[in-house]
């Protein structure tokens, strides 16, 4: 085990991390200096692949393989027993995203199904990805002429981006910590706004207003993610196949919050939870079309594509 990881684990076991200096103590969703250093040493170390595999397995509801990867995750404080801790929940998204990215050989999601999502579509464009997570989609665009920048509200995801880029042998992407509803960019700064499975966590009324502001007069929006009808059918199937209370709660929150958001403009369940990822919504394609039309965008039906499962690749452009 790398010395940096050993030191961190020893301090955690002794309880000395509880006495960190104020500079090393941060809020939820952000890694402290020591936590970040230990994460970097572990992910880049010789057991890094085993660690990523264990975290990935837990993230998709599988039993993590017993061995060094799970032991290392426990040492780092990411897992307690066989369950992700609060710290683990902060790092699991980027790691899961990176494993999926490796599995598709560094391509953008669904690039083989949707021509619009291929690299050459972005040549010479200014691109912003809202909800960029671990930055893997931005890594897929490395070397494409133009500018690509990511936005994510979770500091931990951006803290892990340079580490994941090193694993891929690529430069770290440009990214800023911000909400999709309020970004630090100028008016008309971008040609393309991307939302890869991130729109469901946003306040979409405000996020669409912000996209309208930062996308120029010839701009486009690419939204990829689940939509309401197919999601409900999948949720019913999950209910019939099992009685997992966690999944039932997630699906119930999602269905109720989607309906109330589309009718009232707000979620009503779980709104006091720390993470918006616990309260997703899956708006219908019709609802999103109406909202985009209000802001001067029209959905391109030729390029919009239904994807496997409950997802759609919705492509819209300025009228």
pLDDT of residue 161: 97
Instruction: Tell me: pLDDT of 74 over 90.
Output: yes
Pairing of strands 174-177, 146-152: parallel
Do both 66 and 142 map to the same domain? no
The one-character DSSP state at 202 is S
Instruction: Tell me: pLDDT of 14 over 60.
Output: no
Domain that residue 53 falls in: 3-100
Do both 95 and 132 map to the same domain? no
**Do the domain assignments include residue 282?**
no
Last residue within a domain, chosen from 100, 127, 156: 100
What does the pLDDT look like over 239-256, one tens digit per residue? 888 767 888 889 999 999
Q: What is the CATH number of the domain that holds 197?
A: 3.40.50.150
**Do the domain assignments include residue 61?**
yes
Tell me the C-alpha distance between 244 and 241, whole Å.
Answer: 9
Do both 12 and 92 map to the same domain? yes
Tell me the C-alpha distance between 307 and 319, whole Å.
Answer: 25
What is the mean predicted confidence (pLDDT) over 254-276? 88
pLDDT of residue 140: 97
Do both 128 and 194 map to the same domain? yes
Do both 94 and 7 map to the same domain? yes
Instruction: Tell me: pLDDT of 100 over 90.
Output: yes
pLDDT of residue 124: 97
User: Are 150 and 124 contacting, i.e. CB atoms less than 8 angstroms apart?
Assistant: no
- Judged by DSSP in three states, 159 sits in helix
- Judged by DSSP in three states, 125 sits in strand
pTM of the model: 0.90
pLDDT of residue 172: 97
What does the pLDDT look like over 164-193, one tens digit per residue? 999 999 999 999 999 999 999 999 999 999
């Amino acid at each position: 085990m790398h010395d940096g990881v050993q030191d961190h684990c020893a301090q955690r076991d002794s309880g000395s991390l509880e006495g960190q200096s104020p500079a090393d103590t941060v809020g939820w969703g952000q890694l402290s200096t020591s936590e970040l250093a230990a994460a970097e040493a572990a992910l880049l170390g010789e057991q890094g692949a085993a660690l990523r595999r264990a975290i990935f397995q837990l993230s998709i509801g599988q039993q993590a393989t017993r061995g060094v990867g799970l032991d290392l995750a426990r040492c780092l404080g990411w897992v307690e027993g066989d369950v992700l801790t609060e710290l683990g929940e902060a790092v699991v998204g980027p790691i899961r995203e990176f494993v999926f990215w490796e599995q598709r050989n560094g391509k953008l999601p669904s690039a083989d199904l949707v021509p619009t999502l291929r690299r050459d579509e972005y040549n010479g464009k200014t691109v912003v990805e809202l909800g960029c997570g671990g930055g893997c989609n931005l890594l897929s665009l490395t070397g494409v002429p133009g500018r690509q920048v990511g936005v994510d509200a979770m500091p931990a995801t951006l803290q892990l981006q340079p580490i994941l880029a090193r694993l891929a042998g690529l430069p770290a992407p440009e990214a800023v910590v911000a909400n999709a509803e309020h970004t630090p960019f100028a008016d008309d700064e971008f040609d393309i706004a991307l939302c890869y499975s991130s729109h469901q966590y946003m306040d979409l009324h405000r996020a669409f207003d912000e996209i309208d502001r930062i996308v120029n007069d010839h701009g486009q929006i690419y939204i990829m993610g689940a939509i309401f009808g197919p999601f409900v059918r999948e949720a019913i199937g999950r209910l019939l196949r099992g009685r997992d209370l966690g999944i039932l709660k997630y699906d119930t929150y999602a269905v109720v919050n989607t309906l109330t958001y589309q009718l009232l403009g707000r979620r009503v369940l779980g709104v006091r939870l720390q993470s918006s990822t616990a309260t997703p919504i899956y708006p219908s394609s019709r609802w999103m079309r109406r909202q985009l039309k209000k802001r001067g965008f029209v959905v391109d039906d030729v390029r919009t594509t239904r994807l496997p499962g409950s997802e759609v690749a919705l492509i819209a452009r300025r009228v």
